Structure 1
Amino acid sequence: MYLYGASGHGKVVAEVAEETGYKIEAYIDENPLKERVLSYPVLHEVPQHEIDILISIGNNKTRKRIVKQAELFNYVTLIHPKTVISKRVKIGEGTVAMPGATVNAAVKIGKHCIINTNASIDHDCILEDFVHISPNVALAGNVYVGEGTHIGIGASVIQGIEIGKWCTIGAGAVIISDVPDGSTVVGNPGKVIKSRSLKI
C-alpha cells in the first residue's frame, strides 16, 4: 500500500499500517525536498496504475481535494490493534483509528475520517466524511458531527449535540449546545467566535 502525505501525521499512520500487517511501498508527497520518511521512499508523482492507499494528511480539506482528483485509488481502512471498537460500528473506507481510541456500539463513521489517539466516541454517534477527531476528545452518546469538521485536542461534547459541517472546535472546548455549519467554537462553555462560508 501507499501513504499519501509524508509529514508528522503520515509517520503515525505508517506505524498503524505496520501494526496491522500492511506492506508500505512508499509515501506520495508533493514536497520535492522529501526523499525518505521513516524507512520508506517518497514519490513526488502519483503512480499511474491502480494502487491501495490511505491519505495520511491531517487537513480535512486537503483529503477531500485529493479524493476528488484521484481515479486509480483503492482506499484502505486502518484500525490500530490497540483500539477498542465495538463489533457494531460501521466505518467507511479511507478512515484511520489510532491507538487507544474507543468507539462504542452503533457508531457510524464516514469515509476518510481520523479517529486520533485516545479519542472516545460513545454509542450512536454519527461522524460524516472527512471528520477529524483529535487526541483525547470525548464525544458522549448520540452526537452528530457534520462533514469536514475538526474537533480539537481534549474537547468534550455532551450527549445529543449536533455539530454542523466544516466546523472547527477548539482545543479543550466544552460543547453543550448545537453548533451551526462553518462555525469556530472555543471555550467552556463553547461559544461561536466566527463563522465562514461552506465553499470547500
Structure 2
Amino acid sequence: MNSSESKSLVVIGGGGHASVLVDILRSQQREILAIVSPENISQRRIFSGITHLKNDDDILRFSPDSVNLVNGVGMLPKSGLKRKLNEYFLSLGYTFETVISDSAQVSSFAEIEQGAQVFSGAIIQAGVVIDAHTIINSGVIIEHDCHIGEYNHIAPKATLCGQVTTHSNVYVGANATVIQNITLEQGSIVGAGAIVTKNISSEQICYPSRSVLK
C-alpha cells in the first residue's frame, strides 16, 4: 500500500490536520525534512525540531526524486485547495505519500491508492477500494466492498456499510451512517450525524435531524 517508505518527506500545511499526520509519521520513524506553512507553527509541539518553510515554492528546493510530499491541508466541503495543491505539484513530478496509521485496521484484501490518508482507529474491511488523495479520518468504519472515490473526506467516526460507492469530492460528516448499497455522487455532502438511506445526487446535501432545545 505504501511502496516508497525510504523517501524523506515534506509536509504541506501547519494546522491540526497536518499535526495528526506528523504524529503518525513520527511514530513510524519517518524522516520529515520540512513543514511548509505561511502560519506560525511554533505553538504546535509536534512540529518541534522540523524545519519550517513559509512558501509553497520552497518545496522546489527538494528534488521530486529525493522526497515525497504529504498534503496536511484539511478538506472541508466544497474546498478545492487540497486538489489544487496536489495537481500543481503532481504536474512538477512530485509524488504524494500514502499515510496509514499503525493503529488502523486495514484488510490485506483492501486497496489504498496513492496519497490517501488513513488515521488512527479506522477500520477498512475486505474488498474496499480507497481512491487517491482521500482522507479516512479517526475511527471511521468502511465495511466490505465499498469503493470510496478520490478527494473524499470521511470525517471521524462515520460508518459506511457494505457496498457503498462514493464518487469524487464527497464529504461525509462526523458520526454519519450510510447504509449498504448506497451511492453518493460527485460533490455530495452528508452532514454530521446524518443517516443516509437513499442515494444522493451530485452536489446535493443530506442534512441530519436538528436538535430541539427546550
The TM-score normalised by the length of structure 1 is 0.88
Match of 1:127 among 131, 148, 151: 148
Match of 1:26 among 16, 24, 34: 34
Partner in structure 1 of residue 4 of structure 2: none
The residue matched to 1:2 in structure 2 has which SS?
strand
* Structure 1 position 47, deviation (Å): 2.1
1:78-97 → structure 2 map (5 Å cutoff): 78-97=99-118
* Structure 1 position 36, deviation (Å): 7.3
User: How many residues were matched structurally?
Assistant: 188
**Within 2, Cα distance between the matches of 1:113 and 1:92?**
9
Match of 1:57 among 73, 78, 97: 73
Percent same amino acid at aligned positions? 23
Letter in 2 for 1:8: G
**Within 2, Cα distance between the matches of 1:64 and 1:20?**
26
Match of 2:22 among 6, 10, 14: 14
- Deviant stretches of 4+, over 3 Å: 33-37
2:87 is aligned with 1:47 = no
The residue matched to 1:73 in structure 2 has which SS?
coil
The 1:144/1:164 distance shift into structure 2, 3 A limit, reads same
Letter in 2 for 1:53: L
The 1:34/1:82 distance shift into structure 2, 3 A limit, reads closer
The residue matched to 1:74 in structure 2 has which SS?
coil
Letter in 2 for 1:41: T
Bigger fraction of residues in strand: 1
Q: CA RMSD in A?
A: 1.7
Letter in 2 for 1:42: H
Q: Gaps (5+ residues) in structure 1?
A: 190-200
Letter in 2 for 1:166: G
2:176 is aligned with 1:168 = no
**Within 2, Cα distance between the matches of 1:149 and 1:55?**
18
